[in-house]
Amino acid sequence: MSDAILANSNWYGYCKDKVVTPIMKSAVLDVLVNNSNGFVRALQGGFELHWENLGDCRACEESGCCCAYNTNSTVLLCICKDGTRNRKRCSRHFVITILYWLLRKFWNKGRGNAENLEEFLKNCGSMAPTRYKYSDIKKITTSFKDKLGQGGYGGVYKGKLIDGRLVAVKVLSESKGNGEEFINEVASISRTSHVNIVTLLGFCVEGHKRALVYEFMPNGSLEKFIYDDE
Q: Domain locations in the chain?
A: 3-45, 52-124, 129-226
| Per-residue pLDDT, 94 | 46
| Per-residue pLDDT, 158 | 92
HSE value, Cβ hemisphere, 13 Å, CA-based, for 220: 1
pLDDT over 70 at 107, yes or no: no
Question: 142: pLDDT confidence band, cut at 50, 70 and 90?
Answer: very high
pLDDT over 60 at 27, yes or no: yes
Mean pLDDT of the 149-170 span: 86
> How far is C-alpha 142 from the chain's CA centre?
35
What is the rounded average pLDDT for all residues in the chain? 66
Mean pLDDT of the 123-143 span: 80
Look at 219 and 112; give whichever has higher pLDDT: 219
Mean pLDDT of the 47-69 span: 68
Percent of the chain with pLDDT over 70: 37
HSE value, Cβ hemisphere, 13 Å, CA-based, for 113: 18
Question: 59: pLDDT confidence band, cut at 50, 70 and 90?
Answer: confident
DSSP-H helix ranges across 17-164? 28-34, 36-45, 55-62, 87-124, 134-140
pLDDT over 90 at 78, yes or no: no
Q: Where is mean pLDDT largest: 36-45, 143-152, 221-230?
A: 143-152
185 closest CA partner among 216, 229, 150, 223: 229
3-state DSSP assignment of residue 28: helix
Mean pLDDT of the 149-177 span: 82
pLDDT over 90 at 139, yes or no: yes
Q: Does domain 129-226 have CATH number 3.40.50.300?
A: no
Residues in the chain: 230
100/102 Cα distance (integer angstroms):
6
Known binding site: residues?
170
* Angle in degrees, CA 127, 130, 135, rounded to 5: 175
| Per-residue pLDDT, 138 | 94
| Per-residue pLDDT, 149 | 83
Mean pLDDT of the 176-182 span: 56
| Per-residue pLDDT, 143 | 93
Question: 106: pLDDT confidence band, cut at 50, 70 and 90?
Answer: very low
Percent of the chain with pLDDT over 90: 10
Question: 170: pLDDT confidence band, cut at 50, 70 and 90?
Answer: confident
> How far is C-alpha 97 from the chain's CA centre?
13
197 closest CA partner among 177, 176, 178, 215: 215
Known binding site for ATP: residues?
170
pLDDT over 90 at 112, yes or no: no
pTM of the model: 0.44
